C-alpha cells in the first residue's frame, strides 16, 4: 500500500479532529495506526477475485434476523441456511442478516460484543458458511452499544481507555436542538465509581452513544469494520450513522465530521476490499438521505426511505400522484452509486422521509387507517418539547388489508403490487422476510416485549411456516410463490440493472408508470402498476408513449389494441423479440 493512502487518511482525519483539540502530530499517529490496520488486514486476508461490476440486475437482497425462523433446539443460523438453500437459492443472491451479535435489547441493536456471534444462534463458522453461498450484508452498529458491553462496564469503573468511550454531559445542558427518533430522555443517569454521570443515549437508556470525538473509538470501529469483511461480509450497513457526531448547540444530525467518517470508511474499502459495498441507513427526509452519496466518495448505496410510505399511501389512497411526483424528482445517480429499494424492514414505515412530500393531513389519515388495521405509531421528540410521528409499526402485509374505506378482499393483490413496484425501481431491491412470507401483525410479540416494533419481527416456527407455504390456498403460499416468480423474471432483464435509466411517466392518478432502459436501448421496459381496486381499460391509441409490438413479461401475452389491468395488477411491457 502506498503513502498516498496514508495521506488520504490524514486529510480525512484533519477534517474530523483538527477543530476538536488535536494537533498535527496526533493526527499523523492516528493515520499511521489506520494504515497499519489496513496493511495487517491485507496480509491476513486472502485476496478476493477482482470485481468486474459492482452490481447487476441479478442482485436481490433478503432482509432477515438470524432467528426469524426457528426449529426446536437447532441453532437458528443452521435453520436459516437450510431455508435459504432449499427455497431461495434461485431467487436471491444476497442476504442481510440483521445484528447477529450478543445483545441486551432492541432485537440485536444494543450490542454487547461486536467481535462475537450470539452463541444462542450459532458461530462465525455459520456466518461464513452463509457468506460462502450468498453475498452477506452485516450491520456495523456504530452509533451506540449496550450498557452491558464490557466497554461500558469499564467506563463505570473509570478504567482506561474505555472511560473515554462514551459521552458525558451536564444534565442541565441545553440539548433542545438535538434531533432524535425517540421521545425518551436524551441524557440518562448512570451510577459510576465517580458518582452519578449522565451519558448520551439517542435511542434508549440501554443503547449508550459512543464518543467518536475520541479517536480511539474510531480506531476500534475500523478494526471491527475490517473484521466483518474478513468474515465474509460484502455489504456493510452503517446503522444510524446520521447521529454519529455529537456537539451541544447543534442538531447533532449529519454533522460534517459524520460525513468525513463515512468517507474514511469508503477510502479504506477502496484500498483493501474494493468488492465491499458501503450502505448508509439514514431514515430522514429525502435530500438529507441523498447527501450520503457525497461526491461519489461516501456510500455506494443509500436506502430509498421515501419508497415504503409513498407506495403504501398510493395503494391505500388509490392515487399514485404523490408517488409519481416523488419519483419524478429523484436526482440522477452519481457515478458508481445506486439506491437500495425496500418497502418493509425490521423497522417501521418511516414518515419523516415524506416531510414536504405528503401533506400532514394525508400522513395523519394514513396513520389513522393503519391504527384500524392493527398497527401503532412511534413518536419522536421535537426541539420545542412536542412530539410528532416518526414511524408506523405494522407488517406491510396487514397494512395492505384494505384502503381508507376499510378492509376488503384485495389484500394479496394489493400487497403483491407493492412488491412489483419496488422490484421495478432503479436500484437494488431488498425484500424483508416477513414480506416474502406474508406475515400478519404479531400482537403477541408486542405484548411479550412491550415494544411496538415487535409487531413486524415475528419469529416463525419452521414447521408452522412450512405447513402454510406448502398449502396453496394460504396467503403465505400465494405471496411466497408470486414474489419469487416476480424476482426470477426481474433478474433476467438488463433494463432492471441498478443503474439503468429510469423515467417516470405520469398520465393519471390511477397508474404508477416507470420506463427503464439500458444505455444502448437494447431493452426498454414499461413497468405499469394499477394502484386502484378498479379494472382499468386503456386503448393503446390513447397511450402515445407506448410503442407497438409489446408483450408482457409477467403474463407472457402480447398487448394488442387495449391494455387491461385488473385491480392492483402490474404489467412489465417490452418489445417482443
Q: How confident is the model at residue 179 (pLDDT cuts 50, 70, 90)?
A: confident
Would you call 261 exposed, middle or buried from its count of C-beta atoms within 10 A (0-12, 13-18, 19+)?
buried
DSSP codes of every residue in 385-430: S-EEEEEEES-HHHHTSEETTEE-S-HHHHHHHHHHHHHHSSSEEE
Using CA atoms, how far residue 483 sits from 62, 227, 436, 460, in Å, is: 12, 34, 7, 19
User: How many other C-beta atoms can be found within 10 angstroms of the C-beta atom of residue 478?
Assistant: 18
Residue-wise pLDDT tens digits, 333-351: 998 899 999 999 999 999 9
Q: How many domains does the chain have?
A: 1
In degrees, rounded to 5, the angle at the alpha carbon of residue 22 between the alpha carbons of residues 19 and 28 is: 115
Name the grid cell of 499: 443503474
pLDDT given at position 19: 77
Domain assignment present for 546: yes
pLDDT band at 119, cuts 50/70/90?
very high
Is residue 547 assigned to a domain?
A: yes
Q: Is residue 455 in some structural domain?
A: no
Which listed residue (239, 267, 347, 398) is catalytic?
239
Distance CA 494, CA 58 (A): 9
Checking if the pLDDT of 1 tops 60, the result is no
Decide if 559 is inside a domain: yes
Answer yes or no: is 548 within a domain.
yes
Q: What pLDDT is attached to residue 383?
A: 67
- The pLDDT assigned to 246 comes to 96
Query: Could you give the 3-state DSSP secondary structure of residue 375?
Result: coil
- What percentage of the chain has pLDDT greater than the value 70? 99
Decide if 250 contacts 273 (C-beta within 8 A). Answer: no
What confidence score (pLDDT) does residue 379 get?
Answer: 85
The mean pLDDT value of the chain amounts to 95
CA 80/CA 97 separation, integer angstroms: 10
Residue 464's Cβ-count burial label (10 Å; 0-12, 13-18, 19+) is exposed
Cis peptide preceding 161, ω within 30 of 0? yes
Q: Domain of 526?
A: 501-575
pLDDT per position as a tens digit, 240-270: 999 999 999 999 999 999 999 999 999 999 9
DSSP symbol at 472: T
Question: How far apart, in whole angstroms, are the C-alpha atoms of residue 190 and residue 308?
Answer: 38
- Residue 165, in any domain of the structure: no
- In the numeric block, which cell numbers belong to residue 58? 441479478
Q: Is 239 a catalytic residue?
A: yes
| CATH code for the domain in which residue 525 is found | 2.60.40.1180
Q: Predicted confidence band at 386 (pLDDT cuts at 50, 70, 90)?
A: confident
pLDDT tens per residue, range 477-535: 999 999 999 999 999 999 999 999 999 999 999 999 999 999 999 999 999 999 999 99
Q: What local confidence, expressed as pLDDT, does residue 2 receive? A: 66
Q: What is the dihedral of CA 29, 31, 33, 38, to 10 degrees?
A: -160
Q: Over 80: is that where the pLDDT of 150 sits?
A: yes
Say how far apart CA 181 and CA 390 lie, in whole Å.
7
Sign, CA torsion 567/568/573/576: negative
- Grid look-up 438535538 returns 178
Placement of cell 407506448 in the chain: 546
Residue 514 lies in a domain: yes
Angle at 184 between CA 446 and CA 357, to 5 degrees: 80
Dump pLDDT digits (tens) for 452-491. 999 999 999 999 999 999 999 999 999 999 999 999 999 9
Nearest-angstrom CA–CA distance, 342 and 303: 8
Running DSSP on this structure, what letter comes out for residue 186?
S
What cell numbers appear for 251 in the block? 442538531
Looking at the domain assignment, is residue 558 inside a domain?
A: yes
Q: What is the pLDDT of residues 77-104, one digit of tens each?
A: 999 999 999 999 999 999 999 999 999 9
Amino acid at each position: 500500500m502506498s503513502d498516498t493512502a496514508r495521506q488520504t487518511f490524514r486529510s480525512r482525519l484533519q477534517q474530523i479532529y483538527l477543530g476538536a483539540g488535536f494537533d498535527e502530530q496526533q493526527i499523523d499517529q492516528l493515520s499511521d495506526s489506520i494504515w497499519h490496520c489496513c496493511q495487517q488486514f491485507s496480509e491476513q486476508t486472502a485476496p478476493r477475485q477482482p470485481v468486474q461490476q459492482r452490481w447487476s440486475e441479478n442482485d436481490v437482497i433478503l432482509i432477515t434476523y438470524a432467528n426469524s425462523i426457528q426449529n426446536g433446539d437447532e441453532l437458528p443460523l443452521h435453520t436459516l441456511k437450510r431455508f435459504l438453500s432449499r427455497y431461495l437459492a434461485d431467487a436471491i443472491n444476497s442476504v442481510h442478516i440483521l445484528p447477529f451479535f450478543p445483545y441486551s435489547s432492541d432485537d440485536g441493536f444494543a450490542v454487547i460484543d461486536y467481535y462475537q456471534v450470539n452463541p444462542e444462534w450459532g458461530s462465525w463458522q455459520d456466518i461464513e458458511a452463509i457468506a460462502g453461498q450468498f453475498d452477506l450484508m452485516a450491520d456495523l452498529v456504530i452509533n451506540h452499544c449496550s450498557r452491558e458491553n464490557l466497554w461500558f462496564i469499564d467506563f463505570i469503573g473509570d478504567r482506561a481507555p474505555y472511560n473515554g468511550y462514551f459521552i458525558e454531559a451536564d444534565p442541565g445542558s441545553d440539548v433542545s436542538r438535538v434531533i432524535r427518533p425517540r421521545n425518551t430522555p436524551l441524557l440518562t443517569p448512570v451510577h459510576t465509581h465517580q458518582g452519578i454521570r449522565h451519558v448520551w443515549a439517542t435511542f434508549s437508556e440501554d443503547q449508550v452513544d459512543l464518543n467518536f470525538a475520541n479517536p480511539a473509538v474510531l480506531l476500534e470501529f475500523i478494526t471491527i469494520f475490517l473484521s466483518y469483511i474478513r468474515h465474509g461480509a460484502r455489504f456493510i450497513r452503517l446503522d444510524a450513522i446520521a447521529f454519529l457526531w455529537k456537539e451541544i448547540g447543534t442538531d447533532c444530525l449529519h454533522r460534517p465530521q459524520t460525513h468525513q467518517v463515512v468517507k474514511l470508511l469508503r477510502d479504506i474499502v477502496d484500498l483493501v476490499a474494493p468488492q465491499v459495498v458501503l450502505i448508509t441507513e439514514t431514515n430522514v427526509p429525502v435530500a438529507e438521505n441523498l447527501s450520503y452519496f457525497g461526491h461519489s466518495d461516501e456510500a455506494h448505496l443509500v436506502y430509498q426511505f421515501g419508497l415504503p410510505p409513498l407506495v403504501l399511501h398510493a395503494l391505500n389512497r388509490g392515487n399514485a400522484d404523490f408517488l409519481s411526483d416523488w419519483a419524478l424528482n429523484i436526482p440522477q445517480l452519481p457515478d458508481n452509486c445506486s439506491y437500495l429499494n425496500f418497502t418493509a424492514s425490521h423497522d417501521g414505515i418511516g414518515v419523516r422521509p415524506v416531510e414536504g412530500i405528503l401533506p400532514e393531513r394525508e400522513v395523519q389519515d394514513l396513520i389513522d387507517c393503519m391504527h384500524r388495521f392493527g398497527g401503532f405509531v412511534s413518536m419522536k421528540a421535537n426541539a420545542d418539547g412536542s412530539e410528532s410521528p416518526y414511524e408506523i409499526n405494522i407488517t406491510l402485509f396487514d397494512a395492505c388489508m384494505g384502503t381508507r374505506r376499510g378492509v376488503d378482499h384485495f389484500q394479496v393483490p394489493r400487497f403483491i403490487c407493492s412488491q412489483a413496484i419496488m422490484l421495478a425501481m432503479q436500484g437494488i431491491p431488498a425484500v424483508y422476510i416477513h414480506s416474502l412470507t406474508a406475515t400478519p401483525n404479531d400482537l403477541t410479540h408486542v405484548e411479550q416485549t412491550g415494544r411496538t416494533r415487535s409487531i413486524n419481527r415475528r419469529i416463525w416456527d419452521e414447521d408452522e411456516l412450512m405447513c402454510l407455504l406448502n398449502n396453496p390456498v394460504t396467503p403465505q403460499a400465494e405471496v411466497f410463490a408470486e414474489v419469487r416468480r416476480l424476482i426470477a423474471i426481474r433478474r433476467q432483464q438488463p433494463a432492471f440493472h441498478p443503474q439503468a435509466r429510469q423515467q417516470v411517466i405520469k398520465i393519471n392518478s390511477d397508474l404508477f408508470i416507470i420506463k427503464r432502459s439500458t444505455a444502448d436501448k437494447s431493452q426498454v421496459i414499461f413497468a405499469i402498476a394499477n394502484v386502484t381496486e378498479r379494472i382499468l381499460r386503456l386503448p393503446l391509441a390513447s397511450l402515445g408513449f407506448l410503442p407497438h409490438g409489446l408483450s408482457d413479461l409477467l403474463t407472457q401475452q402480447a398487448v394488442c389494441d387495449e391494455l387491461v389491468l385488473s385491480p392492483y395488477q402490474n404489467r412489465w411491457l417490452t418489445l417482443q423479440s
